[in-house]
Structure 1
Amino acid sequence: MNDLIISGLNLNIAWKSKSENFNQIEQAFKKISADLFILPEMFSTGFYMKPEEIADRNEETLEWMKRFAKEKNTAVCGSASVCENEQYVNRFYFVEPSGKYSFYDKRHLFSYSGEDEKYSAGKEKVIVNYKGWRILLQVCYDLRFPVFARNNDDYDAILYVANWPKSRIDAWQTLLKARAIENQAYVFGLNRIGIDGNHLEYPESSYCYFADGEEISTTNNNIVSALFEAEKLEKFRTKFPFLSDRDEFVLKQQVLINI
């Protein structure tokens, strides 16, 4: 593995306006270089529970991500509302500069908001291999379910993209740190900012934690950056081989994909 420079955008998502959000992102990253850009959950529309109005039917968000990744020569990831086979999914895309892409459909749907009534849950735990790093993709509410994100010594980092509101922000920060410590992995949690169309407030609250729980991210002009250091992680895991003492669990309806 080589070290990875990661940059996420604290995006004030324009409600239900894909073109406006695409333009915001392009302008924000115009002078930024990184190995990977991260965007929030449903970054092209906002977390909207009427998917029939906003869901991609012709891969609009994916096609924009492909163009953006190619132009910047950088991988980009984030989730979008997608209609597939007459069902809606909250799909986390990971797109490489070559146009190759992977995706994870959100497993744990936020029933409190009615997401489970509008969207279909994913069944696969997805780990992407990018530049030698094994990266687990997760979306927002997944953060509350540690068994699904459990490290079976098969990943090095977790990416969480979210629309996690101010009223529960302490849980967001606490659980991100916990996932890093218990899984001995880098954890980057990217949240949106601003006020959405439901009048929910989202404070600046994106963080990256090292495997020991240390916050390593810095923020400048809404760009949250962190460095994933391969040697540092390997040395830490070698010195503290906690993963080897883990219990064994088998999850039902789980397929692990290594791409």
Structure 2
Amino acid sequence: MRDLNDLPDLKLALVQSDLAWHDRDANLARFALLLEKAQGADLVVLPEMFTTGFSMDSASLAEPEQGPTSAWLKEQAARLDAVITGSLIIQAADGSYRNRLLWARPDGALLHYDKRHLFRMAGEHEHYTAGERQVRLEVKGWRVRPLICYDLRFPVWSRDPENTDLLLYTANWPGARRHHWNRLLPARAIENLCYVAAVNRVGTDGKGYPYTGDSQVLDFQGETLLNAGEGEGVFSLTLSSAELAAYRKRFPAHLDADRFELG
């Protein structure tokens, strides 16, 4: 059985930024500069649709599965010797459009998670195909499950039987529902007995919607370890595996969790 005490601590870097509307080159240039401040991190997290903003123009903005942003992510991961992740618009091999989180490892591997819950109030379900499965990824032995924005509202999708160490949300969560973001994230941490890290954007998108950031990290009791507020930049924090292990030993509520299978 895996012992959390044997794992090294995990260094996170959350990149909270404004996004240039529908301008991949401008966004990649912005993030390349910001990533200079992420040196030393094990895991670097970018916002949802970080190359375009949250857009429904999937047909005109989609990249192929091995497109320019995929190559850029792999280059940055190798340069920083860290995992880099964030979502963008991808046209999958089957022709469908996906809001896809890419997980670029420094060894050149590129894994992904497709957003499961599509935000119908913006018509996302009419322009994208929903993901079919949860994904558990690893960095330095830590079990990480990535989720995207609207997924946060669905606690069953955030649950799993595999003792996730870190739930990771990347988002374009608008300021109009800021208080939902700040209430739901602690709930996910408490009910899953794990750390939660969440990255949102700031600024105003091409449709005039403002975003208020609040990228943050919470511990397994829902306590705030870091909150970026409305600032733009790279926000870093180290997670303790020993503290997570001690809490789960002291309060093993996960042993009484309901068992279920996702259809």
TM-score by length of structure 2 reads 0.93
Name the SS of the counterpart of 2:144 in structure 1: strand
Query: Could you tell me which residue of structure 2 aligns to residue 232 of structure 1?
Result: 243
1:88 maps to which of 97, 100, 105: 97
Kindly indicate whether residue 10 of structure 2 is the aligned counterpart of residue 4 of structure 1.
yes
Give the 5 Å matches for 1:165-176: 165-176=174-185
Q: Kindly provide the amino acid, as one letter, of the partner of residue 152 in structure 1.
A: P
Q: Kindly provide the amino acid, as one letter, of the partner of residue 245 in structure 1.
A: D
Alpha-carbon deviation of 1:218? 5.3
Query: Could you tell me which residue of structure 2 aligns to residue 43 of structure 1?
Result: 50
Q: Any idea what the Cα deviations from partners look like across 1:176-223, whole Å, max 9, x if unmatched?
A: 110000000110010011000010000131111000111111547522
| Structure 1 residues 74 and 142: CA distance shift in structure 2, 3 A | same
1:185 maps to which of 190, 194, 197: 194
Q: Kindly provide the amino acid, as one letter, of the partner of residue 86 in structure 2.
A: G
Q: Kindly provide the amino acid, as one letter, of the partner of residue 2 in structure 1.
A: P
Alpha-carbon deviation of 1:150? 0.6
Runs of 4+ in 1 over 6 A off after TM superposition: none
Residues 153, 243 of structure 1: 8 Å contact kept: no
Q: Any idea what the Cα deviations from partners look like across 1:76-95, whole Å, max 9, x if unmatched?
A: 00001001222100001111
2:68 maps to which of 60, 81, 86: 60
Kindly indicate whether residue 29 of structure 2 is the aligned counterpart of residue 23 of structure 1.
yes
Query: Could you tell me which residue of structure 2 aligns to residue 200 of structure 1?
Result: 209
Alpha-carbon deviation of 1:129? 1.5
TM-score by length of structure 1 reads 0.94
Alignment partners' CA distance in 2, 1:24 and 1:237: 40
Give the 5 Å matches for 1:81-160: 81-84=89-92, 85-160=94-169
| Structure 1 residues 61 and 246: CA distance shift in structure 2, 3 A | same
Alignment partners' CA distance in 2, 1:32 and 1:110: 31
Alignment partners' CA distance in 1, 2:38 and 2:57: 34
Residues 38, 44 of structure 2: 8 Å contact kept: no
Alignment partners' CA distance in 2, 1:117 and 1:36: 32
Alignment partners' CA distance in 1, 2:88 and 2:127: 14
Alignment partners' CA distance in 1, 2:262 and 2:77: 34
Alpha-carbon deviation of 1:31? 3.5
| Structure 1 residues 178 and 235: CA distance shift in structure 2, 3 A | same
RMSD, matched Cα: 1.2
Name the SS of the counterpart of 2:99 in structure 1: strand
| Structure 1 residues 238 and 153: CA distance shift in structure 2, 3 A | farther
Query: Could you tell me which residue of structure 1 aligns to residue 260 of structure 2?
Result: 249
Alignment partners' CA distance in 2, 1:69 and 1:248: 37
Q: Give unpaired runs (5+ residues) of structure 2.
A: 1-6
Between the two proteins, the alignment pairs up a number of residues equal to 252
Query: Could you tell me which residue of structure 2 aligns to residue 211 of structure 1?
Result: 220
Residues 218, 226 of structure 1: 8 Å contact kept: no
Alignment partners' CA distance in 2, 1:86 and 1:95: 22
Q: Kindly provide the amino acid, as one letter, of the partner of residue 90 in structure 1.
A: N
Residues 218, 225 of structure 1: 8 Å contact kept: no
